[in-house]
A and B are shown apart, each in its own frame.
Chain A
Amino acid sequence: MVNLTINGKVVQAEEGEVLLSVIRREKIDVPALCHHEAVEAFGACRLCVVEITRQEWDGWCDYVTSCLYPASDGLIVNTHAAKVNDLRKTIVDLFLARHPKCPEIIELAAEYGVYSTTYQTVVDGDNCILCGLCTRICDRMGFHAISTVGRGHGKEVSPPLHKAPPDCTGCLACAQNCPTSFIEYSAAKGFLTIWDKKFELLKCSGCGKETITKVFAEHLCQERKIPFEYFQICDECHRKQLAATMGEITSWDREAAS
């Protein structure tokens, strides 16, 4: 364990643990768009920038992305120093220039007092900030269905060959973890469509509600050795079933006791 100071408070952290996880544990609000506990830190959005210094640095300080910087003994961290706020303001300003219509970016920018960008606005821009969280999460899920394609101005997130991705199972991990809700999907009449690929949805045998895609359920059955029946019923019905089962067990117990 190491001792470090965050905003004046001495806190403990594991040696090598990244600053952002210590900061989050201390319930300090530091913005980050590209971060997710499930995947390796990437440092793409730069918003989690913090000021660091040490006693022996003699007043000198550095500005680092807290999602990548490891905690160490004697480190003094300031998450909301004036310079840090300035840096974040510049970052959200740049984001706003590229994604002027993105609700998440507009909201974040407003928190930093940026209501219109000071840079030239990208007129035909989309809402993808190219943080690559979707592709990293897809890799983590083990599907590797999407990746970043091209580079520079033309860079984008896309399935291979710009066609419906063969390895996609419609798990929706990409879309539901996208910090700017850019990845579109639609579910209607028992089918889910994402990345131009159509998937059959399973229906809960209890209430008829649509649950996950059949392909994803089959994948989980195979990889995680979960019986397929588990996916034929939704979570709510599972709980109802469980309550009923518990009632039965209690009555058995009562019978056994008497």
Chain B
Amino acid sequence: MNHDLSKLPGIFDRYPKHQQSLIAVLQDIQKEYQFLPCEALEETARVLDVPLSKVFSVSTFYNAFSLHPRGEKVLRVCVGTTCHIRGAAQIQEQLESQLNIKAGETTPDLKFTIETVGCVGACAKAPVVIVNERYYGPVKVSDYKKLLRGK
């Protein structure tokens, strides 16, 4: 897969070309492309002079980084204790069956990604679903349309 890597030099320019900038650079690439393209990892390793194995190790360690393209809308279903008790599993199931994908997967048209997260610290609003940056809660199973439509 080839990706437009023209935005990378701009990202590298923001930080000192040093090992310590690795996470900051990866975060910016993730934000720009919604995931970390392989070519971008190789370029990061080259520019920051960090072994590629270390770049790969870091980018697979943190959940905030994804090596696979993600959908325009990332639906994060909180499955923390409170949300679990208040029916997170049913909400997850409903979203999974509506989009015909499992948690951690992306629809083939790259529109939606479903993920599960531990606790997002919004237990008072449980069960919570986060669509991109926006929090929704308390969510009902029948709210799926709103979640899929929501900005």
A and B are partners in one complex rather than unrelated chains: yes
By a beta-carbon cutoff of 8 Å, the part of chain A in contact with chain B is 135, 138-139, 144-151, 158-161, 165-167
Q: What residues of chain A lie closer than 8 Å to B54, measured between beta carbons?
A: 144, 147
Contact residue among A145, A158, A159, A161 (Cβ-Cβ distance under 8 Å from B41): A161
Name B45-70 residues within 8 Å CB distance of A: 51-57, 60-61
Are B41 and A160 within 8 A (Cβ)? yes
Chain B residues bordering chain A, tally (CB within 8 A): 11
Give chain B nearest CB distance to A83 CB in angstroms. Answer: 35
- Is B24 on the interface with A (CB-CB < 8 A)? no
Q: For A159, what are the chain B residues with a Cβ–Cβ distance below 8 Å?
A: 53
In the complex the two chains form, is B53's CB within 8 Å of A167's CB?
Answer: yes
Set of chain B residues within 8 Å of A151, measured between Cβ atoms: 60-61
Contacts of A167 in B (CB 8 A): 51-53
Does B117 reach chain A (CB closer than 8 Å)? Answer: no
Chain A: minimal CB distance from B109 (Å) = 25
Q: Are B60 and A165 in contact (CB under 8 A)?
A: no
Most chain-B Cβ atoms within 10 A of its Cβ — which of A135, A159, A161? Answer: A161
Partner of B55, one of A135, A160, A165: A160
Q: Which of B53, B55, B60 contacts A145 (CB 8 A)?
A: B53
Min CB–CB distance A254 → chain B (angstroms): 56
Q: How far is the CA of A159 from the CA of B41 in the complex (A)?
A: 13
Contact yes or no, B51 A144, CB < 8 A: yes
**Closest chain B residue, CB of each to CB of A168:** B53
B38 within 8 A of A: yes
Residue of A nearest to B62 (CB): A151
